């Protein structure tokens, strides 16, 4: 007499990096098309804060949608090491989709919260500009100060600690994962907070330059990807800090002089 037993789930051999890169590529394509058709103008933070006649919920919804597209283009490639580890671990479960979905939901929620905090801060900057005549006529100083802030943060202990966490997905998974959707959620939160700790200052540069600047967007994406996943990423902090600080000093100088700084 034979007995039947349920077969244990077999780990998937598919590489999630392909899907991640495909989604990132689609986001880049969407941004390029939107820029070519001026489709991003209605969702830019300047428009949302001051120039839109839409109801506030509609403005915020458009801003969130544009933010997620930008986030997908810039940040998704940096998640590949964690996505691969999580894929292998969850493949051993009967229904891995719940944990994976919870991971991505938590990751997106953390970055969406940051986007709205940044938008609120930018609203205060706009108010300051309108009430301070000198700053209104020297607005490039804001971009320069943001670049200096990002450059200084590159060398901070917090940035280095968050980068170490991002480069060690196995360690993070061991600390936070359990075989459930709740485990995927905790891993997503932990990874997103480490990612935010690495990149928030660089993402603020995108606020200052505007999503319309593909050159800045491509350069910052390259920095964040290389810092997190390249074998020599730890050596980049110093040179990147120097470039940002120098660029910030130049832009502040031009802004104080009353000229227009190239961005």
**How do residues 97-134 score in pLDDT, each as one tens digit?**
899 999 999 999 999 999 999 999 999 998 998 888 88
- Nearest Cα neighbor of 76 from 186, 229, 184 is 229
Confidence band of 9 (pLDDT split at 50, 70, 90): very low
- Quote the pTM value: 0.86
The answer to whether residue 21 sits within a structural domain is yes
The answer to whether residue 12 sits within a structural domain is no
Least confident segment among 9-13, 124-128, 152-156? 9-13
CA 15, 18, 23, 28 dihedral sign is positive
The answer to whether residue 228 sits within a structural domain is yes
**In this structure, what token pair is assigned to residue 232?**
């020599």
- Burial of residue 59 (CB within 10 Å: 0-12, 13-18, 19+) is buried
Q: Can you give the residue range of the structural domain that contains 218?
A: 17-257
Q: What is the mean pLDDT of the chain?
A: 86
Could you tell me if 38 and 211 are in contact, meaning their C-beta atoms sit under 8 angstroms apart?
A: no
Q: What angle do CA 228, 14, 232 make, to 5 degrees?
A: 20
Residue 43 has pLDDT above 80, yes or no: no
What integer pLDDT is reported at residue 4 of this predicted model? 41
Could you tell me if 80 and 20 are in contact, meaning their C-beta atoms sit under 8 angstroms apart?
A: yes
Ordered alpha helix ranges (H), the chain: 17-36, 45-46, 56-75, 80-90, 97-131, 133-136, 140-153, 157-166, 169-176, 181-209, 214-229, 237-257
| 3-state secondary structure (DSSP) of residue 50 | helix
Rounded to whole angstroms, how far apart are CA atoms 35 and 212? 7
The answer to whether residue 225 sits within a structural domain is yes
Q: What CA–CA distances, in Å, run from 112 to 44, 85, 87? A: 15, 24, 24
Total domain count, the chain: 1
- In the chain, the N- to C-terminal Cα span, in Å, equals 77
The answer to whether residue 10 sits within a structural domain is no
The answer to whether residue 158 sits within a structural domain is yes
Confidence band of 214 (pLDDT split at 50, 70, 90): confident
Rounded to whole angstroms, how far apart are CA atoms 97 and 47? 38
The answer to whether residue 262 sits within a structural domain is no
What integer pLDDT is reported at residue 212 of this predicted model? 54
Residue with tokens 């801060």: 121
- In the 8-state DSSP scheme, what is residue 235? G
Average pLDDT over residues 226-246: 89
Average pLDDT over residues 205-234: 84
The answer to whether residue 36 sits within a structural domain is yes
């Amino acid at each position: 007499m034979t007995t039947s037993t349920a077969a244990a789930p077999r780990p998937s051999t598919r590489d999630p990096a392909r899907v991640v890169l495909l989604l990132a590529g689609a986001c880049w394509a969407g941004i390029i098309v939107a820029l070519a058709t001026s489709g991003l103008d209605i969702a830019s933070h300047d428009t949302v804060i001051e120039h839109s006649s839409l109801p506030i919920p509609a403005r915020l919804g458009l801003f969130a949608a544009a933010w997620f597209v930008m986030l997908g283009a810039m940040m998704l490639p940096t998640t590949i090491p964690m996505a691969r580890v999580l894929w292998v671990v969850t493949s051993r479960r009967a229904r891995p989709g719940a944990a994976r979905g919870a991971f991505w939901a938590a990751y997106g929620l953390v970055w969406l919260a940051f986007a709205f905090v940044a938008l609120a801060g930018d609203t205060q900057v706009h108010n300051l500009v309108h009430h301070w005549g000198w700053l209104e006529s020297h607005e490039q100083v804001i971009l320069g100060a943001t670049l200096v802030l990002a450059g200084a943060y590159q060398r901070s202990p917090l940035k280095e600690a968050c980068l170490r966490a991002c480069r060690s997905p196995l360690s993070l998974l061991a600390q936070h994962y359990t075989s459930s959707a709740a485990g995927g959620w905790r891993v997503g939160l932990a990874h997103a907070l480490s990612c935010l700790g690495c990149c928030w200052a660089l993402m603020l540069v995108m606020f200052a330059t505007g999503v319309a600047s593909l050159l800045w967007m491509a350069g910052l994406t390259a920095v964040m990807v290389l810092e997190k996943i390249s074998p020599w990423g730890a050596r980049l902090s110093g040179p990147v800090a120097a470039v940002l600080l120098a660029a910030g000093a130049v832009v502040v100088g031009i802004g104080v002089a009353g000229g227009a700084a190239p961005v």
